[in-house]
Structure 1
Amino acid sequence: MKYIPVESREWEREPDIAAIERAGLLDESEAELQYKVLVERGSMFSMLRLAHIFEFRPPEQGGPDFKQAEFWYCRAVDSGSAVATFHCGYFYFRRKNYDKAKDMFAIGVERKYAPSIVRLAHHYLFGLGVARDHPKARILLKQASELGSLWAKTGLARMDFNTGENLLVRAKGLVMCLVSDLQFYCEKRRDPDSERLVR
Protein backbone atom coordinates (compact mmCIF):
# COMPACT_ATOMS: atom_id res chain seq x y z
CA MET A 1 0.00 0.00 0.00
CA LYS A 2 1.38 3.42 -0.97
CA TYR A 3 2.09 5.71 1.98
CA ILE A 4 0.24 9.05 1.67
CA PRO A 5 1.49 11.61 4.19
CA VAL A 6 -1.17 13.27 6.34
CA GLU A 7 0.62 16.60 5.90
CA SER A 8 0.28 16.35 2.10
CA ARG A 9 -3.45 15.79 2.45
CA GLU A 10 -3.74 18.82 4.72
CA TRP A 11 -1.77 20.96 2.27
CA GLU A 12 -4.27 20.00 -0.42
CA ARG A 13 -6.99 21.70 1.66
CA GLU A 14 -5.10 25.00 1.81
CA PRO A 15 -6.87 27.87 0.02
CA ASP A 16 -3.71 29.42 -1.52
CA ILE A 17 -0.37 27.62 -1.19
CA ALA A 18 1.41 30.15 -3.42
CA ALA A 19 0.33 32.99 -1.09
CA ILE A 20 1.72 31.11 1.93
CA GLU A 21 5.04 30.66 0.11
CA ARG A 22 5.13 34.34 -0.85
CA ALA A 23 4.41 35.36 2.75
CA GLY A 24 7.35 33.25 3.87
CA LEU A 25 9.69 35.48 1.81
CA LEU A 26 8.55 38.69 3.53
CA ASP A 27 9.99 40.26 6.64
CA GLU A 28 8.33 39.04 9.82
CA SER A 29 5.89 41.92 10.38
CA GLU A 30 4.66 41.81 6.78
CA ALA A 31 4.47 38.02 6.85
CA GLU A 32 2.37 38.19 10.02
CA LEU A 33 -0.17 40.43 8.25
CA GLN A 34 -0.32 38.17 5.20
CA TYR A 35 -0.72 35.01 7.29
CA LYS A 36 -3.62 36.62 9.18
CA VAL A 37 -5.34 37.39 5.87
CA LEU A 38 -4.85 33.76 4.84
CA VAL A 39 -6.21 32.54 8.18
CA GLU A 40 -9.45 34.36 7.38
CA ARG A 41 -9.60 32.24 4.23
CA GLY A 42 -9.21 29.05 6.27
CA SER A 43 -5.45 28.47 6.07
CA MET A 44 -4.35 26.13 8.86
CA PHE A 45 -0.66 26.25 7.89
CA SER A 46 -0.78 30.04 8.22
CA MET A 47 -1.93 29.51 11.83
CA LEU A 48 1.10 27.28 12.43
CA ARG A 49 3.43 29.81 10.84
CA LEU A 50 2.02 32.58 13.03
CA ALA A 51 2.52 30.37 16.09
CA HIS A 52 6.12 29.76 15.03
CA ILE A 53 6.75 33.49 14.51
CA PHE A 54 5.52 34.30 18.01
CA GLU A 55 7.29 31.39 19.71
CA PHE A 56 10.69 31.97 18.13
CA ARG A 57 10.72 35.74 17.56
CA PRO A 58 14.28 36.98 18.22
CA PRO A 59 15.03 39.40 21.09
CA GLU A 60 15.85 42.28 18.73
CA GLN A 61 12.26 42.06 17.43
CA GLY A 62 10.68 41.98 20.88
CA GLY A 63 11.34 38.37 21.83
CA PRO A 64 8.90 35.47 22.03
CA ASP A 65 5.22 35.95 22.85
CA PHE A 66 4.21 32.55 24.21
CA LYS A 67 0.58 33.54 24.80
CA GLN A 68 0.15 34.43 21.14
CA ALA A 69 2.06 31.32 20.08
CA GLU A 70 -0.21 29.15 22.21
CA PHE A 71 -3.29 30.88 20.80
CA TRP A 72 -2.30 30.11 17.20
CA TYR A 73 -1.14 26.55 17.88
CA CYS A 74 -4.44 25.79 19.62
CA ARG A 75 -6.46 27.47 16.89
CA ALA A 76 -4.74 25.24 14.32
CA VAL A 77 -5.65 22.16 16.39
CA ASP A 78 -9.22 23.43 16.76
CA SER A 79 -9.43 23.74 12.97
CA GLY A 80 -9.35 19.93 12.84
CA SER A 81 -5.72 19.49 11.79
CA ALA A 82 -3.88 16.31 12.72
CA VAL A 83 -0.49 17.89 11.90
CA ALA A 84 -1.14 20.77 14.30
CA THR A 85 -1.51 18.35 17.24
CA PHE A 86 2.18 17.50 16.87
CA HIS A 87 3.34 21.13 16.70
CA CYS A 88 1.07 22.26 19.54
CA GLY A 89 2.08 19.28 21.67
CA TYR A 90 5.74 20.02 21.04
CA PHE A 91 5.16 23.66 21.98
CA TYR A 92 3.93 22.53 25.41
CA PHE A 93 6.72 19.94 25.59
CA ARG A 94 9.33 22.68 25.06
CA ARG A 95 7.66 24.65 27.87
CA LYS A 96 7.87 21.47 30.05
CA ASN A 97 4.07 21.48 30.39
CA TYR A 98 3.87 17.71 29.97
CA ASP A 99 0.18 17.42 30.87
CA LYS A 100 -0.91 19.72 28.07
CA ALA A 101 1.61 18.18 25.68
CA LYS A 102 0.20 14.73 26.42
CA ASP A 103 -3.34 15.98 25.82
CA MET A 104 -2.40 17.42 22.42
CA PHE A 105 -0.57 14.28 21.36
CA ALA A 106 -3.62 12.25 22.47
CA ILE A 107 -5.77 14.29 20.06
CA GLY A 108 -3.22 13.34 17.41
CA VAL A 109 -3.81 9.68 18.27
CA GLU A 110 -7.54 10.17 17.64
CA ARG A 111 -6.70 11.82 14.31
CA LYS A 112 -4.29 8.99 13.41
CA TYR A 113 -1.19 11.17 13.04
CA ALA A 114 1.88 8.99 13.52
CA PRO A 115 4.34 11.68 14.78
CA SER A 116 1.93 12.65 17.58
CA ILE A 117 1.42 8.98 18.45
CA VAL A 118 5.19 8.47 18.71
CA ARG A 119 5.47 11.48 21.03
CA LEU A 120 2.68 10.18 23.26
CA ALA A 121 4.47 6.82 23.42
CA HIS A 122 7.56 8.75 24.56
CA HIS A 123 5.53 10.21 27.43
CA TYR A 124 4.53 6.72 28.57
CA LEU A 125 8.06 5.34 28.15
CA PHE A 126 9.60 8.04 30.36
CA GLY A 127 6.70 8.98 32.64
CA LEU A 128 6.26 12.55 31.36
CA GLY A 129 2.91 13.82 32.67
CA VAL A 130 1.75 10.21 33.08
CA ALA A 131 2.80 7.13 35.03
CA ARG A 132 5.39 5.04 33.19
CA ASP A 133 3.58 2.39 31.21
CA HIS A 134 5.72 0.36 28.79
CA PRO A 135 2.83 -1.83 27.55
CA LYS A 136 0.86 1.32 26.64
CA ALA A 137 3.95 2.78 24.93
CA ARG A 138 4.31 -0.43 22.92
CA ILE A 139 0.66 -0.29 21.78
CA LEU A 140 1.13 3.32 20.65
CA LEU A 141 4.40 2.58 18.84
CA LYS A 142 2.76 -0.36 17.07
CA GLN A 143 -0.11 1.90 15.98
CA ALA A 144 2.31 4.56 14.70
CA SER A 145 4.41 1.91 12.95
CA GLU A 146 1.32 0.63 11.13
CA LEU A 147 0.72 4.22 9.99
CA GLY A 148 4.20 4.32 8.45
CA SER A 149 6.42 5.89 11.15
CA LEU A 150 9.98 4.62 10.94
CA TRP A 151 10.74 6.09 14.38
CA ALA A 152 7.97 3.90 15.81
CA LYS A 153 9.34 0.85 14.04
CA THR A 154 12.81 1.57 15.43
CA GLY A 155 11.35 2.16 18.91
CA LEU A 156 9.54 -1.19 18.89
CA ALA A 157 12.68 -3.00 17.74
CA ARG A 158 14.74 -1.39 20.50
CA MET A 159 12.14 -2.26 23.12
CA ASP A 160 12.31 -5.90 22.03
CA PHE A 161 16.10 -5.86 22.01
CA ASN A 162 16.44 -4.16 25.42
CA THR A 163 13.54 -5.68 27.35
CA GLY A 164 12.61 -8.88 25.52
CA GLU A 165 11.60 -11.70 27.88
CA ASN A 166 13.89 -14.24 26.23
CA LEU A 167 16.87 -14.57 23.89
CA LEU A 168 14.70 -15.20 20.82
CA VAL A 169 12.71 -11.98 21.31
CA ARG A 170 15.94 -10.04 21.84
CA ALA A 171 17.51 -11.54 18.73
CA LYS A 172 14.41 -10.62 16.74
CA GLY A 173 14.65 -7.11 18.17
CA LEU A 174 18.29 -6.84 17.05
CA VAL A 175 17.41 -7.91 13.50
CA MET A 176 14.49 -5.46 13.41
CA CYS A 177 16.80 -2.68 14.68
CA LEU A 178 19.12 -3.30 11.73
CA VAL A 179 16.22 -3.46 9.25
CA SER A 180 14.55 -0.30 10.59
CA ASP A 181 17.88 1.58 10.65
CA LEU A 182 18.40 0.65 6.99
CA GLN A 183 14.84 1.74 6.10
CA PHE A 184 15.43 4.99 7.99
CA TYR A 185 18.67 5.63 6.09
CA CYS A 186 17.04 4.91 2.71
CA GLU A 187 14.04 7.13 3.45
CA LYS A 188 16.29 9.97 4.60
CA ARG A 189 18.27 9.78 1.35
CA ARG A 190 15.07 9.59 -0.71
CA ASP A 191 13.20 12.38 1.08
CA PRO A 192 14.92 14.19 3.99
CA ASP A 193 11.63 15.94 4.87
CA SER A 194 9.56 12.74 4.89
CA GLU A 195 6.75 12.66 7.44
CA ARG A 196 7.83 9.06 8.19
CA LEU A 197 10.98 10.50 9.84
CA VAL A 198 9.16 13.00 12.08
CA ARG A 199 9.10 12.33 15.82
Structure 2
Amino acid sequence: MRNTVAMLGLAALAAGCSSTTAGTPTASSTPTTDPSAKTVPYGGAPKVENPLPDNALSGDPCQALTPQQITEQLGSAITGKPDSQPISSCSWTNPDTTASIGVSYYPASNDGLSNAYVNVKPQMKRWDVLPPIQGFPAVAYATQAGSTPNTCNVLVGVTDRLSFLVDVAPRTEKMGKVDSCAGAADVANDVITTLKQNAGG
Protein backbone atom coordinates (compact mmCIF):
# COMPACT_ATOMS: atom_id res chain seq x y z
CA MET A 1 0.00 0.00 0.00
CA ARG A 2 1.33 3.39 -0.97
CA ASN A 3 2.23 5.63 1.96
CA THR A 4 0.38 8.78 2.93
CA VAL A 5 3.15 11.11 1.82
CA ALA A 6 3.18 9.59 -1.63
CA MET A 7 -0.57 9.80 -2.00
CA LEU A 8 -0.50 13.42 -0.90
CA GLY A 9 2.05 14.07 -3.59
CA LEU A 10 0.00 12.13 -6.12
CA ALA A 11 -3.14 14.11 -5.42
CA ALA A 12 -1.39 17.45 -5.59
CA LEU A 13 0.76 16.68 -8.60
CA ALA A 14 -1.59 14.63 -10.68
CA ALA A 15 -4.59 16.90 -10.83
CA GLY A 16 -4.24 20.05 -8.77
CA CYS A 17 -5.60 20.30 -5.25
CA SER A 18 -7.88 22.08 -2.87
CA SER A 19 -7.56 21.77 0.88
CA THR A 20 -10.23 19.92 2.82
CA THR A 21 -10.86 20.40 6.51
CA ALA A 22 -8.21 17.77 7.19
CA GLY A 23 -5.72 19.61 5.04
CA THR A 24 -5.51 16.83 2.45
CA PRO A 25 -5.64 17.87 -1.20
CA THR A 26 -8.41 16.47 -3.33
CA ALA A 27 -8.14 15.86 -7.05
CA SER A 28 -9.99 18.14 -9.41
CA SER A 29 -11.17 17.30 -12.92
CA THR A 30 -8.73 19.68 -14.58
CA PRO A 31 -4.96 20.08 -14.24
CA THR A 32 -3.60 22.90 -12.11
CA THR A 33 -1.89 24.36 -15.14
CA ASP A 34 -2.32 24.27 -18.88
CA PRO A 35 1.10 23.27 -20.22
CA SER A 36 0.44 25.14 -23.46
CA ALA A 37 -0.26 28.37 -21.59
CA LYS A 38 2.41 28.49 -18.90
CA THR A 39 6.14 28.56 -19.36
CA VAL A 40 8.17 26.16 -17.24
CA PRO A 41 9.97 26.26 -14.96
CA TYR A 42 8.07 28.51 -12.55
CA GLY A 43 7.41 28.83 -8.82
CA GLY A 44 11.12 28.75 -7.99
CA ALA A 45 11.72 25.37 -9.61
CA PRO A 46 15.10 24.89 -11.29
CA LYS A 47 15.53 24.32 -15.01
CA VAL A 48 16.56 20.86 -16.21
CA GLU A 49 19.74 21.71 -18.07
CA ASN A 50 20.35 18.34 -19.74
CA PRO A 51 16.93 16.68 -20.09
CA LEU A 52 16.23 13.11 -21.03
CA PRO A 53 14.23 12.45 -24.22
CA ASP A 54 10.53 13.37 -24.13
CA ASN A 55 9.60 9.67 -24.11
CA ALA A 56 11.83 8.89 -21.12
CA LEU A 57 8.87 8.06 -18.87
CA SER A 58 6.74 6.29 -21.45
CA GLY A 59 7.67 2.84 -20.19
CA ASP A 60 6.51 0.67 -17.28
CA PRO A 61 7.46 2.04 -13.83
CA CYS A 62 7.84 -1.56 -12.66
CA GLN A 63 10.88 -1.70 -14.95
CA ALA A 64 12.40 1.45 -13.38
CA LEU A 65 14.45 -0.67 -10.98
CA THR A 66 16.35 -3.82 -11.83
CA PRO A 67 15.99 -6.98 -9.69
CA GLN A 68 19.52 -6.31 -8.41
CA GLN A 69 18.60 -2.76 -7.37
CA ILE A 70 15.43 -4.00 -5.64
CA THR A 71 17.47 -6.64 -3.80
CA GLU A 72 19.99 -4.02 -2.65
CA GLN A 73 17.20 -1.77 -1.37
CA LEU A 74 14.72 -4.28 0.09
CA GLY A 75 16.72 -7.46 0.64
CA SER A 76 15.19 -9.59 -2.11
CA ALA A 77 14.06 -9.29 -5.71
CA ILE A 78 10.40 -8.60 -4.95
CA THR A 79 7.99 -8.33 -7.87
CA GLY A 80 6.57 -4.86 -8.31
CA LYS A 81 2.84 -4.18 -8.07
CA PRO A 82 1.68 -1.91 -10.92
CA ASP A 83 -1.01 0.75 -10.62
CA SER A 84 -2.32 3.18 -13.20
CA GLN A 85 -4.54 5.39 -11.03
CA PRO A 86 -4.25 8.30 -10.84
CA ILE A 87 -0.96 7.96 -12.73
CA SER A 88 1.37 5.19 -13.84
CA SER A 89 3.21 3.80 -10.80
CA CYS A 90 4.68 0.68 -9.24
CA SER A 91 5.32 -0.38 -5.66
CA TRP A 92 7.49 -2.98 -3.99
CA THR A 93 6.99 -4.12 -0.37
CA ASN A 94 9.04 -6.66 1.55
CA PRO A 95 6.44 -8.62 3.57
CA ASP A 96 9.03 -9.68 6.12
CA THR A 97 10.24 -6.19 7.02
CA THR A 98 7.39 -3.96 5.67
CA ALA A 99 10.05 -1.80 3.99
CA SER A 100 8.63 -0.37 0.77
CA ILE A 101 9.48 1.56 -2.37
CA GLY A 102 7.18 3.26 -4.84
CA VAL A 103 7.98 4.81 -8.23
CA SER A 104 5.53 7.05 -10.08
CA TYR A 105 5.84 8.66 -13.52
CA TYR A 106 4.22 12.07 -14.02
CA PRO A 107 3.14 13.21 -17.51
CA ALA A 108 4.04 16.54 -19.07
CA SER A 109 0.65 17.99 -18.08
CA ASN A 110 1.91 18.13 -14.48
CA ASP A 111 4.61 20.70 -15.30
CA GLY A 112 7.39 18.71 -13.63
CA LEU A 113 9.07 20.19 -10.57
CA SER A 114 7.24 23.50 -11.05
CA ASN A 115 3.94 21.96 -9.97
CA ALA A 116 5.52 20.56 -6.82
CA TYR A 117 7.12 23.88 -5.87
CA VAL A 118 3.75 25.61 -6.15
CA ASN A 119 1.30 22.95 -4.91
CA VAL A 120 3.18 20.47 -2.73
CA LYS A 121 5.85 22.54 -0.99
CA PRO A 122 3.38 24.68 1.06
CA GLN A 123 1.83 21.53 2.53
CA MET A 124 5.03 19.82 3.62
CA LYS A 125 6.74 20.06 7.00
CA ARG A 126 10.02 19.05 5.43
CA TRP A 127 11.18 20.27 2.03
CA ASP A 128 14.81 19.79 1.00
CA VAL A 129 16.31 20.94 -2.26
CA LEU A 130 18.76 18.14 -3.01
CA PRO A 131 22.04 18.31 -4.88
CA PRO A 132 21.36 17.28 -8.48
CA ILE A 133 21.11 13.50 -8.87
CA GLN A 134 23.27 12.57 -11.86
CA GLY A 135 22.73 16.12 -13.06
CA PHE A 136 18.93 16.18 -12.60
CA PRO A 137 17.31 18.58 -10.11
CA ALA A 138 15.47 16.95 -7.22
CA VAL A 139 13.60 17.73 -4.01
CA ALA A 140 12.81 15.59 -0.98
CA TYR A 141 9.69 16.19 1.05
CA ALA A 142 7.74 14.71 3.94
CA THR A 143 4.68 15.49 6.02
CA GLN A 144 6.79 14.95 9.16
CA ALA A 145 9.36 17.50 10.26
CA GLY A 146 12.81 16.44 11.39
CA SER A 147 15.60 14.26 10.11
CA THR A 148 13.93 10.85 10.52
CA PRO A 149 10.48 10.94 8.89
CA ASN A 150 8.75 7.56 8.65
CA THR A 151 8.23 8.06 4.93
CA CYS A 152 9.74 10.44 2.40
CA ASN A 153 9.32 11.33 -1.25
CA VAL A 154 11.98 12.41 -3.72
CA LEU A 155 10.78 14.08 -6.90
CA VAL A 156 13.20 14.35 -9.82
CA GLY A 157 12.78 16.47 -12.93
CA VAL A 158 14.01 14.66 -16.04
CA THR A 159 12.74 17.46 -18.30
CA ASP A 160 11.15 20.80 -17.42
CA ARG A 161 7.73 19.11 -17.69
CA LEU A 162 8.39 15.45 -16.90
CA SER A 163 9.21 14.13 -13.44
CA PHE A 164 9.19 10.93 -11.46
CA LEU A 165 8.53 10.38 -7.79
CA VAL A 166 10.15 7.88 -5.43
CA ASP A 167 8.57 7.18 -2.06
CA VAL A 168 10.35 5.11 0.56
CA ALA A 169 9.42 3.68 3.95
CA PRO A 170 12.12 1.86 5.95
CA ARG A 171 11.63 -1.42 7.75
CA THR A 172 9.50 -1.24 10.89
CA GLU A 173 12.35 -1.42 13.40
CA LYS A 174 14.07 1.50 11.69
CA MET A 175 11.06 3.79 11.63
CA GLY A 176 12.00 7.09 13.26
CA LYS A 177 15.67 6.05 13.43
CA VAL A 178 16.87 6.52 9.86
CA ASP A 179 16.39 9.26 7.30
CA SER A 180 13.98 7.85 4.74
CA CYS A 181 14.74 10.87 2.51
CA ALA A 182 18.30 9.64 2.11
CA GLY A 183 16.96 6.22 1.19
CA ALA A 184 14.56 7.74 -1.33
CA ALA A 185 17.41 9.70 -2.93
CA ASP A 186 19.40 6.47 -3.29
CA VAL A 187 16.47 4.82 -5.05
CA ALA A 188 15.98 7.87 -7.27
CA ASN A 189 19.61 7.55 -8.32
CA ASP A 190 18.95 3.93 -9.30
CA VAL A 191 15.89 4.96 -11.33
CA ILE A 192 17.88 7.59 -13.21
CA THR A 193 20.56 5.02 -14.02
CA THR A 194 17.88 2.77 -15.52
CA LEU A 195 16.22 5.62 -17.45
CA LYS A 196 19.52 6.78 -18.89
CA GLN A 197 20.39 3.25 -19.98
CA ASN A 198 16.99 2.91 -21.65
CA ALA A 199 17.55 6.22 -23.42
CA GLY A 200 20.92 5.04 -24.66
CA GLY A 201 22.82 7.46 -22.43
State the TM-score, normalized to the length of structure 2. 0.22
* Structure with the largest fraction of helix: 1
* Structure with the largest fraction of strand: 2
State the TM-score, normalized to the length of structure 1. 0.23
Pick the structure with greater CA Rg.
1
